[in-house]
Chains A and B, each alone.
Chain A
Amino acid sequence: MLLLPAVIVLSAVVVVPLLLSLWSSFTPFRLTKPETVYQFIGIRNYQRIFGDLDFWIAFGRTVLLLTVALNLEMLIGLGLALLVDRQTRGQRLLRTILMFPMMFSPILVGFQFKFMFNDNVGLVNNALQSLGFTDKAIPWLIDGKLAFLAIAAAEIWSSTAVFAIFILAGLMAMPREPQEAARVDGCTPWQTFRYVTWPFLMPFAFIAMTIRSLDVARAYDIIKIMTDGGPAGRTEVLWTLIARTAYSDARMGMANAMSYVAILLSVAFTAYFFSKLGKARAQVAGDW
Chain B
Amino acid sequence: MDANASARLKKRGSAWALNVALFISMLIICLPGLWIVLNSLRPTVEIMAKPPVWIPRELSFDAYVDMFSGVGQGGIPVISYFRNSVIIAVTSTIISLAIGMSGGYAFARYRFKGKSAWFLGLMLTRTVPGIALSLPLFFLYAKTGLIDTHAGMIIAYTALNVPFTIWLIDGFFRQVPRDLAEAAQIDGCTRWQAFWQVEFPLARPGIASAGIFAFLTSWNEFALASQLTRSTDSKTLPVGLLDYTAEFTIDWRGMCALAVVMIIPALLLTYAVQKHLVSGLTSGAIKG
**Chain A interface main SS type:** helix
Stretch in B44-52, B59-67, B68-76 touching the partner:
B44-52
With A and B bound together, what is the CA distance between A79 and B29 in angstroms? 14
**Chain B interface main SS type:** helix
Contacts of B256 in A (CB 8 A): 115
CB distance from A99 to the nearest CB of B (A): 5
Cβ A3 vs Cβ B106 within 8 A: yes
Contacts of B136 in A (CB 8 A): 17-18, 20-21, 24, 256
> How many pairs of A and B residues are in contact by the CB < 8 Å rule?
250
Contacts of A121 in B (CB 8 A): 47-48, 52, 252
Cβ B227 vs Cβ A247 within 8 A: yes
Interface positions, chain A 150-187, Cβ under 8 Å from B, are: 157, 161, 165-166, 169-170, 173
By beta carbon, the residue of chain B nearest A102 is B270
Cβ A256 vs Cβ B135 within 8 A: yes
B32 at the interface (CB under 8 A from A): yes
With A and B bound together, what is the CA distance between A221 and B107 in angstroms? 33
By beta carbon, the residue of chain A nearest B130 is A217
Contacts of B288 in A (CB 8 A): 281, 285
Stretch in A39-47, A49-57, A67-75, A89-97 touching the partner:
A89-97
Cβ B130 vs Cβ A220 within 8 A: yes
Cβ B282 vs Cβ A207 within 8 A: yes
Residues of A with Cβ closer than 8 Å to B?
Answer: 1-3, 5-6, 9-10, 12-18, 20-21, 24, 79-80, 83-84, 86-87, 94-109, 111-113, 115-116, 120-121, 123, 126, 129-130, 157, 161, 165-166, 169-170, 173, 203-204, 207, 211, 213-218, 220-221, 224-225, 239, 242-243, 246-247, 252, 255-256, 259-260, 262-263, 266-267, 269-271, 274, 281, 284-285
| 24 pairs from A and B in contact (CB 8 Å cutoff) | A2-B102, A2-B105, A3-B107, A5-B98, A6-B162, A13-B137, A14-B159, A18-B136, A83-B22, A106-B222, A107-B241, A111-B255, A129-B52, A130-B54, A157-B32, A166-B282, A170-B282, A207-B284, A224-B222, A239-B223, A242-B132, A256-B136, A259-B131, A259-B135
Residues of B with Cβ closer than 8 Å to A?
Answer: 18, 21-22, 25-26, 28-33, 35-36, 39, 47-48, 50-52, 54, 98-100, 102-103, 105-107, 110, 118, 120, 122-133, 135-137, 139-140, 155-156, 158-159, 162-164, 166, 216, 219-223, 226-227, 238, 241-242, 252, 255-256, 259, 262-263, 266-267, 270-271, 274, 278-279, 281-282, 284-286, 288
